[in-house]
Amino acid sequence: MFLTKDWRSIGDFIAAGPRSKNAKLEIRENLRLLQSSYAARARAQMMSCFRDVTVEDLPSIVQEQMLEELLDKEAQQQLEGGGGEPPALNWSLEITERLGSRLHALWNRSAGDCLLDSAMQATWGVFDRDNALRRALADTLQQAGQFFYPRWREYEASQASRMLDFTLEETQWQEDWESLLATAAQPGSALEQLHVFALAHILRRPIIVYGVKYVKSFRGEDIGYARFEGVYLPLLWEPSFCIRSPIALGYTRGHFTALVPIEPYASSRIPPLATHGVVSGNNSPLEQLQIQMQTTFMPLMDREHKLLPIHFLTTDEIGREESIYKEWLDVCRTEGGILVAQQKLHKRPLLVAQMLEEWLNHYRRLAQTNEAPFSRPPTLQDYSSDGDTEDE
């Protein structure tokens, strides 16, 4: 017996288990803290990487089934250029192979919940089935609209003038704004750029979206320009109050996916010291290797080495993109000259680690039906019980 697609999220698999209630309470508490101006340091972190070394312990047929249920192969193919467009994801061999930073698209629910699902998967490893993140999104835009509205209006007016050469009356801007607020509050409603920008503030960390350039019809015809690709920074916060380690999302035809790396503790992630690509800096080769093992490098450029746009900049900020990147992210350049953001990977909090272990145990039980019984007890010494670190 195999899992259905409704159980592809690690958290959803154990939704009926004893840890489910604790997990939901933990997520709600995280969101409450992240929305508070005087809260503790942000606690969300990258938890959805799956363990390469654990997967390799399983028979090949079970590995294939696990990855089939976990990954979104169609989205992966489109993002990597399978639809005839230039690749938006994993286009640099230096980053994917030499620096071990290939990103993988995770399956989630379709329709208008995919953005929230993907953001939750990239931080807590679960779907937003209880609409906790959607409620936080709607509340944030309602309660802090006086801060979001001016920046949104200026940005959209600039885009409309530059790309379409038209302007709107103030009443039309107000109508569009009210529509965006209503959409944020309605489960299942498709979300837009403003909502990604607001999510960056709720999570208090940058969101990098790698996406297709054009939205296509089901016949493969271009029907519009997709504007989602780029970087969304929590610009309304102080940088010192935010996490510098970004999350990555993918955007294909009307659909978002979480993009996650394979956990870097497997030997396959560590190339020989003499041959792997190192990130330019003043660290010794050994220090660089240690940094590489704990870091995923995410390009801030497209395949033509053009900087990804930073959305919702004001007129005064446009033209300073690279310095703004450095203000909000830990950035460096590869030997090949690619500007990259560093996503720091830390030990999982205990609750998330236990949830993941229960999810993996399902596949171990499947393996026992095909081969001699084996088990791999949880290595709790690898987990953290004190939540997130403050140096993320």
Q: What angle do CA 356, 250, 269 make, to 5 degrees?
A: 55
Note the pLDDT of residue 11: 45
The one-character DSSP state at 334 is: B
Q: Which of 104, 195, 201, 255 is catalytic?
A: 255
* 387 torsion bin: left (phi>0), alpha (psi -120 to 50), beta (else): left
Architecture per CATH, domain 10-33+44-264+294-369, reads as Alpha-Beta Complex (3.90)
Question: Who contacts 392 (Cβ-Cβ below 8 Å, separation ≥6)?
Answer: 42, 45, 243, 244, 245, 344, 346
| Domain boundaries along the sequence of the chain | 10-33+44-264+294-369
Q: Which of 114, 195, 201, 311 is catalytic?
A: 114
Active-site residue 114, yes or no?
yes
Q: Per-residue pLDDT tens, the chain, 392 aa: give them.
A: 223 334 444 445 444 444 555 555 555 555 555 555 433 333 344 344 444 446 667 788 877 888 888 899 999 999 999 867 889 999 999 999 999 899 999 998 877 889 999 999 898 888 888 888 999 999 999 999 999 999 999 999 998 877 666 677 889 999 999 999 999 999 999 999 999 999 999 999 999 999 998 777 667 677 677 889 999 999 999 999 999 999 999 999 889 999 998 876 543 444 433 333 345 555 655 456 556 568 899 999 999 999 999 999 999 999 999 999 999 999 999 999 999 999 987 777 677 777 777 877 888 888 887 665 444 544 444 444 444 444 44
Active-site residue 255, yes or no?
yes
Note the pLDDT of residue 30: 59
Q: Residue 333 forms beta bridges with which residues?
A: 339
End-to-end, the C-alpha distance of the chain in Å comes to: 40
